[in-house]
């Protein structure tokens, strides 16, 4: 067994679902009924989505990739539903592991199911990529809201051809003016306060910075119910993974996604701790800059 697989197996053995904290049981407050309507609406270009390894919703979409993300969605929704959770952050030990593509595709897959309203939030204040990957041009972004320059409806982007999806983009790299402190502010918390959108339960998918580059993930995790860790077999070391899991030990980690594995799995495993996406036809490929 390779070092990454050994580290993942140790994580599976050391974590227990029954020991996780349910934030909804820790002094929960009454939630606003509805997410504010998006102030801007755009249409996503299927070709842009496809070129960026995202679910495109057209004939270009690879059924094998669709199935992988459908399985990922189903397993995550099972865990979140069982714990009354509605927000999940997606991170990785370092850069280029595929976390942003995973964030986009998880949100797209949830939106496609049609039973929830998915809100995709780009909280990677160091290197935001969601707008680029999805081909969204928005004058206002998360920093405008967190810095008090705009309201939440003004920065939310509705997607006309994905009616169950809204996006909160990040500012261009280096232009946000944000520090990690803003990620644990009351305005950040207010983003996740709405339980419903147009009559559907709201689920928040939050793309986070890599866990080991600063305290950003710990800062924003205060406002999130759970985390998913994306691991790249070709670039993530076992030590990096161990450091990440130790750092996030106080968080509710729903599992790990292993990208670009050289070892094909014999089955899909138990995503409660461990979802392995194998190489070639066994897994969605993700770009190296994600």
Q: pLDDT tens digits, residue range 171-228?
A: 876 666 788 889 989 999 999 988 877 778 999 999 999 999 989 999 999 999 999 9
Angle (CA) 220 277 222, round 5°: 10
Tell which residue, 89, 186, 176, has the closest CA to residue 131: 176
For residue 176, the 8-state DSSP code is: -
Predicted TM-score (pTM) of the model is: 0.82
Domains in the chain: ranges and CATH = 3-10+40-282 (3.40.50.300)
pLDDT tens per residue across span 46-87: 999 999 999 998 888 888 889 999 999 999 999 999 999 999
pLDDT tens per residue across span 105-158: 999 999 999 999 999 999 999 899 999 999 999 889 999 999 999 999 999 999
User: E strands along 79-164, which residues?
Assistant: 87-91, 117-122, 157-159
Task: Give the pLDDT score at 11.
Answer: 55
Residue 259 vs residue 9, higher pLDDT: 259
Percentage above 90 pLDDT, the chain: 59
* Residue 280 structure tokens: 């070639």
pLDDT tens per residue across span 258-281: 887 555 443 333 232 343 332 222
For residue 38, the 8-state DSSP code is: P
Burial of 152 (0-12, 13-18, 19+ CB in 10 A): middle
Task: Give the pLDDT score at 290.
Answer: 54
């Amino acid at each position: 067994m390779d070092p990454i697989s050994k580290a993942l197996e140790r994580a599976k053995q050391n974590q227990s679902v029954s020991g996780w904290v349910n934030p909804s049981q820790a002094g929960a407050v009454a939630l606003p009924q509805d997410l504010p309507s998006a102030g801007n609406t755009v249409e996503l270009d299927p070709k842009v989505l496809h070129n960026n390894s995202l679910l495109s919703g057209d004939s270009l979409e690879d059924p094998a990739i669709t199935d992988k993300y459908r399985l990922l969605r189903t397993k995550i929704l099972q865990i979140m539903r069982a714990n009354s959770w509605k927000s999940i952050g997606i991170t990785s030990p370092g850069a280029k592991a595929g976390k942003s593509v995973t964030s986009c595709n998880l949100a797209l897959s949830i939106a496609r199911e049609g039973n929830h309203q998915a809100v995709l939030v780009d909280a990677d204040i160091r290197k935001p990529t969601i707008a680029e990957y999805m081909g969204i041009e928005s004058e206002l972004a998360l920093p405008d809201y967190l810095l008090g320059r705009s309201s939440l409806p003004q920065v939310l982007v509705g997607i006309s051809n994905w009616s169950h999806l809204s996006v909160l983009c990040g500012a261009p790299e280096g232009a946000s003016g944000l520090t990690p402190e803003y990620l644990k502010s009351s305005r950040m918390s207010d983003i996740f306060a709405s339980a419903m959108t147009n009559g559907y339960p709201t689920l928040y998918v939050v793309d986070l910075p890599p866990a080991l580059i600063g305290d950003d993930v710990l800062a924003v995790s205060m406002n999130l119910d759970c985390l998913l860790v994306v691991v790249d077999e070709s670039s993530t070391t076992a030590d990096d993974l161990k450091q990440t899991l130790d750092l996030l030990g106080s968080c509710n980690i729903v599992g790990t996604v292993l990208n670009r594995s050289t070892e094909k799995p014999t089955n899909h495993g138990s995503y409660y701790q461990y979802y392995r996406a194998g190489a070639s036809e066994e897994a969605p490929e993700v770009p190296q800059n994600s």
